[in-house]
Amino acid sequence: MENPSLGWARSLVCGFGSLFVPIFAERQAFGPIPAQDVALSLVMMTMVCTAAGYVLTRSAPLLLTRLLLRLHPNLQLRDDVWEEVVPGQEAQLGEEAAEEGVAKKRYIRKRTGAELLFIVVHNSAVTSMAMLAWLLGYPYLALHAFCLEIGYEVFDSFSLGFQRMEPETLIHHLVSPICILCSTQTDIDFRVLCQLSICIDLSGAILGMSKFLLRFSHLSASKIYQFLSIVYIFLRVIFPLIDTVIIVSRELTTKGSFSTRLQLQSDQQGFFARTDWTQLYFWSMAVMNSFNAYFFLVIRARSRLPAHVVSIYETQN
């Protein structure tokens, strides 16, 4: 008979280990979720994210900055954070315009401080919802968390517009919803997806705050990039790759070889009946993992630059 203390210790170790490598004896399938449930959650979360985003980035753009200073009163910010223009508006270049007698205008090319802080708020909300869904064992709460992520992609796309959206952002905003929507049509363990969401969104919140501090604070840019490189290697590269291996291996084990998964089931009727959602999910995950690895290399390269070079780069870009 096994010692009760040893059994308790083994359970504790297994439970703690599952936080990093989410392998479970019994699968709690996430999908397939009915299309109407996905659509309803998507509409609701998009409306919530859009309303919150409009208030925090357009209607009251300095609200999050003031809240940040209340939480961290010793944080010193540059004056630029208070002089930013709300997206869609124009700012007069005072001195240059006065000298030339011409009203020159400049348009916002980057995310504003309010938009960067809203990234922190949004990603923190998604992370909290994913954690709560995992703890409560409630897949539909995970669905709302994932749809909130899509809601942000929609809001951010319209908020940035084509003038301010970078190619990397555009690709991310296209591929990320594909990953999420495809996952709703597979029977992947929702706890694996929750861990993946926690890693991505927690690192996203840290990234948003880091970008804000890089532009508006007096903190060392090199130290911020060094910290980001550590965050990225674990939360955007190692753990997502572990989750990807778990997802792919379990799907191939239960549903056939890789070549089988790449074939459409032509004996069924209709395009959506024949479409292999897992196949599309695999390809979208490959794109996202490649992007994460690329951005990690970029961040690591910047963290190794001399401090004065990084400061000049951040000032000019």
Closest of 156, 167, 289 to residue 235, by C-alpha: 289
CA distance 154 to 43: 11
> In the chain, what are the domain boundaries?
27-256+270-316
CA distance 110 to 166: 9
Predicted confidence at residue 48, as pLDDT, reads: 97
pLDDT over threshold 60, residue 261: no
Tokens of 306: 């001399």
Q: What is the DSSP letter of 88?
A: T
Alpha helices in the chain (DSSP H): 4-18, 35-54, 63-71, 80-83, 94-100, 113-136, 139-164, 167-183, 190-216, 221-232, 239-255, 258-261, 271-274, 277-303, 307-316
How many Cα atoms sit within 13 Å of 186 on the Cβ side? Answer: 27
pLDDT over threshold 60, residue 296: yes
> 161: left (phi > 0), else alpha (psi -120 to 50), else beta?
left
pLDDT band at 87 (very low <50, low <70, confident <90, very high): low
pLDDT over threshold 70, residue 227: yes
Average the pLDDT over 44-54 and give the result: 97
What pTM was estimated for this model as a whole? Answer: 0.84
How many Cα atoms sit within 13 Å of 174 on the Cβ side? Answer: 10
Predicted confidence at residue 4, as pLDDT, reads: 57
Predicted confidence at residue 109, as pLDDT, reads: 62
Using CB atoms within 10 A of its CB, is residue 94 exposed (0-12), middle (13-18) or buried (19+)?
Answer: exposed
Average the pLDDT over 98-111 and give the result: 53
pLDDT band at 290 (very low <50, low <70, confident <90, very high): very high
